[in-house]
A and B are shown apart, each in its own frame.
Chain A
Amino acid sequence: MATNLVGLLLVAGIIYGIKLMSSPKTAVQGNFLGAVCMAGAIILTLVSNRILTVPLLWIGIAIGSLIGYILALKVKMIEMPQMVALLNGLGGGGSAIVSWMVLLAGIQTTGVFERFTAALGLAIGAVTLSGSLIAAAKLHRLIKQKPTVLKNHNSYIFITSVVSVLLIILLTSGSRHNILFSLLLAVMTLLFGVIFTIRVGGADMPVTISLLNSLSGVAGSLSGLAISNALLVTAGSVVGASGLILTQIMCKAMNRKLVNVLTGKGIQQAPKQTGSTEGQESAADQETKEEEDLSEIIARAKKVVIVPGYGMALAQAQSKVKQLADLLEEQGKEVKFAIHPVAGRMPGHMNVLLAEVNVDYEKLYEMQDINPEFIETDVVFVIGANDVVNPAANTAEGTPIYGMPILKVAEAKHVVIMNMDTKPGYAGVDNPLYKSPKVKLLLGDANDSLREIIQLVS
């Protein structure tokens, strides 16, 4: 009873910690509270199960903590999406193993409920592990970010899932071949995780990562059900809900259904683009035409909005962006940042990068708040963003971005776009902005383009 009461307090602490994370002012304490409660939960579990003195456990805890600490210290901000994916995968792997151990213990010691939740926990944990590792490898560019579509991709997904379901039923019913079947289940679900994640492309990563985040919580919760650990059940469930919300938010921000994102639907149907060189030429024309005007346009501007995208992250141009923003502010201009919910590779990616270079978070505006302001904005700087500002989202029916809410930069008086090239973004849809007369294109590395602008301004 006392154990349950303390456990309940710890869960309440973890949830309160998450609540504190809803404001930048209290978030650090919230995270700290979460960590303390987690430590408390580990000690409570060790004490209440009378296993405080088992050396093997402490060896594992020491090794894991050390590796985790070193990884966390060494990681750069730019590598954060893959780091989160990797850690998430390991958590899922841990839950998979715990569930597996329940299954391996055999049918004498387990009931139907334990076997069912353990089999499900193993399956979801293994999908989380392999899926997260593939996602991390994609984000780290160890494998290509474009969706990899195998021949008969859907049939592989179908086969692995049907076999997995059958194995879960067999394991639940208490087959004597529990070792073989659970091993097979692990292999099948690991494969499923790989097949399902390699088809997801780079720009859909925010959705995938949020979903995997949710799954790791669900896997933990299931393994908790299998071993009747209430703390594990509740904490895992909270994480599952959290990931689910983020997944929903990301899908909504792209106006795509989760199923379509996961099955890569829409992306392959995008019209093949051939006319990108044409766009480049006209851009080059414009450049010479408007070169002299640009410094004047910026000098006259009172209200400036900066739109960062994944290109800024890739070029690591965030400190240059901050430099530009500071410079413009010193000249008495109002500078705001417009953050599209799916800009980057994970939820809130741009916010973290800008925070890294000390951009005040009060200057970061969400889409719905900044969109009405574009019409009175003098100059918009778009840095490495394409799909999220592409007006074709409103008109190009049948393309993956059709219906996606965008940042309405086209409503501003002038737009300066600093992108690598005029190739269509991830969605494969040409951006009509590039041909608009009020748009000035600066192609190439965002750092170089920003340097150019900074020179013009100062």
Chain B
Amino acid sequence: MSNSLLVLLFLIAAAIGYKVISEVPSLLHTPLMSGTNAISGVTILGAVVATAAAKAIGSQILGLLAIIFAMINVVGGFVVTHKMLMMFKKKS
């Protein structure tokens, strides 16, 4: 994919994100933050690609570290958000 197209994607996504998120009420700001925080672990995609391509053992270790960090972020983030959101559910 060309670089300019990527930059364009970056801008479009930011604009859409801005629109969608500004509609979230302050009631849910903490879960929103931890939910988007989990999504920031999307760097896992880069981590797996870079690690698979790494030849030197040093790079492989770095890559492994990146995968672990990102996965903690992703899994921890989604589970924590779920835990919080369950509390907002009305209990009858």
Give A residues with C-beta under 8 Å from B.
4, 11, 14-15, 17-19, 21-24, 27-28, 30-32, 34-35, 38, 41-42, 45-46, 49, 51, 54, 56-57, 59-61, 63-65, 67-69, 71-73, 75, 77, 80, 83-84, 87-88, 90-95, 97-98, 100-102, 104-105, 113, 209-210, 213, 216-217, 219-221, 223-246, 249, 339, 341, 346-349, 351-352, 355-356, 358, 360-361, 364, 366
- Given known contacts A19-B20, A237-B13, A242-B17, is B29 in contact with A95 (CB within 8 Å)? no
In this complex, the member of A51, A56, A59 whose beta carbon has the largest number of chain B beta carbons within 10 angstroms is A56
Interface residues of B in 53-83 (CB under 8 A from A): 54, 59-60, 62-83
Q: A220 contacts B59, CB within 8 Å?
A: no
| B46→A232 contact, CB < 8 A | yes
Interface of B is mostly: helix
Contact mask B1-23 → A, CB, 8 Å, 1/0? 10100110111111111101111
Q: Is the CB of B47 within 8 A of A352?
A: no
Residues 19 to 46 of chain B near chain A (Cβ within 8 Å) = 20-46
- For this complex, 20 residue pairs linking A to B, each with C-beta atoms less than 8 Å apart, are A15-B17, A28-B82, A38-B39, A45-B48, A57-B51, A68-B71, A69-B76, A87-B77, A94-B44, A95-B46, A97-B63, A210-B33, A224-B46, A234-B12, A237-B10, A241-B21, A249-B29, A348-B28, A351-B29, A366-B25
Of A14, A220, A243, A366, which is in contact with the most chain B CB atoms at under 10 Å from its CB?
A220
Q: Which of A63, A68, A75, A355: most chain B Cβ within 10 A?
A: A68
Indicate whether A249 sits within 8 Å of B26 (C-beta atoms), given known contacts A352-B31, A352-B84.
yes
B39:A97 contact, CB within 8 angstroms: no
Instruction: Indicate if the CB atoms of B43 and A232 lie closer than 8 Å.
Output: yes
Would you call A244 and B10 a contact (CB within 8 A)? no
Starting from the known contacts A22-B23, A246-B33, A348-B33, 11 additional A-B residue pairs (CB-CB under 8 Å) come to A17-B35, A18-B24, A23-B28, A28-B82, A64-B69, A73-B79, A87-B37, A98-B47, A232-B46, A339-B26, A347-B32
On chain B, the number of residues with a Cβ less than 8 Å from chain A's Cβ atoms is 80
Instruction: Please state if A88 and B90 are interface contacts (CB–CB under 8 Å).
Output: no
Q: Is B38's CB under 8 angstroms from A27's CB?
A: no
7 shortest A-B CB distances, which residue pairs? A64-B71, A60-B67, A348-B29, A68-B75, A68-B76, A238-B17, A72-B79
- CB of B46 within 8 A of CB of A230, answer no
Chain B residues within 8 Å of A80, by CB: 30, 34, 80, 84
User: Chain B's nearest CB lies how many Å from the CB of A92?
Assistant: 8
Say yes or no: B13 contacts A88, CB within 8 Å: no
A221, B10: Cβ atoms closer than 8 Å: yes
Residue among A54, A102, A238 with max Cβ neighbours from chain B (10 Å)? A238
Pick from B22, B52, B64, B69: contact of A93, CB below 8 A.
B69
Q: Which of chain B's residues have a CB closer than 8 A to the CB of A4?
A: 1
Residues of A within 8 A of B29 (CB): 246, 249, 346-348, 351
Are the C-beta atoms of A27 and B85 separated by less than 8 Å?
A: yes
Chain A residue at minimum C-beta to C-beta distance from B55: A105
- A42 and B44 CA atoms in complex are apart in Å by 7
Distance of A321 from chain B, by nearest CB (Å): 15
CA distance A432 to B29 in the complex (A): 31
A230 near B27 with CB under 8 A, answer no
